[in-house]
A and B are shown apart, each in its own frame.
Chain A
């Protein structure tokens, strides 16, 4: 395992800027997640580190050495692709053994067998080793693909939405497993996803990307509680943070320059208004029942505020409520955070 550093890396595809002057340090043993919607350059960043794409500008340092123009094989990274990129005519065992059989490594067959069976039992595919790779379910295939990375001890594991094609149950299982494996091995991982739950649960640090730039990086807690912009704030939280225009909330005290107020669902307090409501008033127009908690949709003017509520809060559709914000976030007209 090694530290990987990107220094002002840029990549352009014809006119499109995929990665724009991106700097990022992934420390040895760290699990960094790049988060962002489709097409912001997350995958390109991974491919630049792996050497599958060449940078147009900037530097890639792996383990302190300049690898900017090195071949993929020289960089010693492991890549898990979004598609199940298995070698279809090989068995599961041979797929897992494939990277170990590289002449660059020169491992003995006994050592290969030991490592393959170790990883296979870790991923619970040890009973499938003699199966052809194509005769597996989607979840099994992706576990083989992850396993093919894990048999190696590369400088860094690069994972491109490895769980996105799996069903919800398997996704949460593998999420835990991956985090546990990373802890056990002390692996350095750069992981790309647009799934905020994966980012929140696995990352040591989350980097949020927008239009090829890294707009904020920090621990999941930092990103969640102190987003630098409305863009970052909207990336995390389910349901999404309420972003309300300043004008809607007349007499709320706000720092100067505030254009938008952000309130996470769990920070919205509702009290049933008996008679004339105090402060901001709204009407509950819809309740989503989720079992352990409810989502209340409250109409305030022409905006819709979503809140988290206890199932036995006693509030019902049509109730008039007054609204308070526990820890509001203030954003300026450009969408950037204003501390206050």
Chain B
């Protein structure tokens, strides 16, 4: 039991190991200076990987810069790119696809996520194990998920088609989830929901667990039915959490790229071409770096603006 030195001797040792000159220097600093020293590395990193690229992108968006021709003469084009983007019907189509995608997946994920949380928020045998199982999809890499859902959706050998065929009786190869103009947007929404509903559930679960038991007990004694308890206690008190989940998923889905790129690449036609896919095409297929920078800035401002309006609403709900 004497493997560990006593705490007193540990403190002594630690004190000895610190060179006195360093101690002197630290002692001379104010609390504020020490605080700055602690956050400086993070701040520098943020500047380097977030703020600097942002500023550079803004700068590039006013030029005709092309990343595949770095040595071509740089010309200032002013607001021409912005003008072109905002009047381009293809861009508006992509924005609409994105909006529909965001709304559909948020509705499905929020309703399902909240329902799952509500069901799992009661103590039963194996609830912990079940929670872990439900959270599994979220822990997988989007690349893995995208690839294996491509297999699942495969018309000839795909398990998804096979199961649908088994349930409905239509032949499995009679429909293509990823190749059909009407089905492919839903194919992506389905995969995204499969992957991210657990995340919404987790946040909702935190909300439900934050409601103290005695509020329900008070309602029980006050003769409120389970239905009324749900509408007057559970839902309003979990609302800030639900809204937070919607915010996170909304921002994520607006920027959604990996899953669409892996599953459909924007096709068939441009039915699943969300804004980020258009952006990728402009930036890395057509190499119009200046133009795509302008588009990226527009997307950023849109998300930022929407998120801000939303956060304001969220704060209003929270302060009630």
Instruction: Identify whether the interface residues of B are mostly helix, strand, loop, or mixed.
Output: helix
Beta-carbon nearest neighbor of A81 in chain B: B214
Q: Which of B101-109, B114-122, B183-191, B230-238 contacts A (4 or more CB under 8 A)?
A: B230-238
A50 to B222, CA, bound (A): 11
Question: For the complex, what is the distance from the CA of A78 to the CA of B224, rounded to whole Å?
Answer: 12
Q: Which B-chain residue is minimally distant from A132 (CB atoms)?
A: B320
Q: A88-B237, A89-B320, A132-B320 are in contact. Are A73 and B214 (CB under 8 A)?
A: no
| Those of A36-51 within 8 Å (CB) of chain B | 50-51
Q: Are A105 and B223 in contact (CB under 8 A)?
A: yes
- In the complex, the answer to whether A52 meets B233 with C-beta atoms within 8 Å is no
**Residues on the A chain within 8 Å of B236, using CB:** 89
B212 on the A face (CB < 8 A): yes
Interface residues of B (CB under 8 A from A): 212, 214-215, 217-225, 228, 232-233, 236-237, 320
Q: Is the CB of B223 within 8 A of A85?
A: no
C-alpha gap A83/B236 in the complex (Å) = 20
Q: A81-B217, A85-B215, A89-B236 are in contact. Are A99 and B320 (CB under 8 A)?
A: no
Measured between alpha carbons, how far is A228 from B228 in the docked complex, in Å? 48
Q: Which residues of B contact A98 (CB under 8 A)?
A: 219, 222, 224, 232
Interface residues, chain A, with chain B CB atoms under 8 Å away: 50-52, 71-73, 76-79, 81, 83, 85, 87-90, 98-99, 102-105, 132, 148
Complex alpha-carbon distance, A90 and B235, angstroms: 13
**Contact (A102, B224) CB under 8 Å given A87-B233, A132-B320:** yes
Which chain A residues lie closer than 8 Å to B219 at the CB level? 87, 98
Whether A52 lies near B220 (C-beta < 8 A) is: yes
- Bound: A51/B212 CA distance, A: 18
Min CB distance A21 to B, Å, is 25
B46 to chain A, nearest CB (A): 36
Minimum CB distance partner of A90 in chain B? B232
- Write out the residue numbers on chain B whose beta carbons fall within 8 Å of the beta carbon of A72: 217, 220-221, 223
Given contacts A81-B217, A89-B320, contact A102 B223 (CB under 8 A): yes
* 11 additional A-B residue pairs with CB within 8 Å, beyond A50-B217, A52-B220: A71-B220, A78-B222, A83-B214, A85-B212, A87-B219, A87-B233, A88-B237, A89-B236, A98-B224, A102-B228, A103-B225
CB of B222 within 8 A of CB of A77, answer no
Query: Residues of A contacting B220 with CB < 8 Å?
Result: 51-52, 71-73
Please state if A87 and B215 are interface contacts (CB–CB under 8 Å): yes
Q: How far is the CB of B222 from chain A (nearest CB, A)?
A: 4
Residues on B with C-beta less than 8 A from A73 are 220-221, 223-225
In the complex, 18 of the A-B residue pairs with CB atoms within 8 angstroms, ordered by the A residue number, are A50-B221, A52-B220, A52-B221, A72-B221, A73-B225, A78-B221, A81-B214, A85-B214, A87-B215, A87-B218, A87-B233, A89-B237, A89-B320, A98-B219, A98-B222, A102-B225, A103-B225, A104-B223
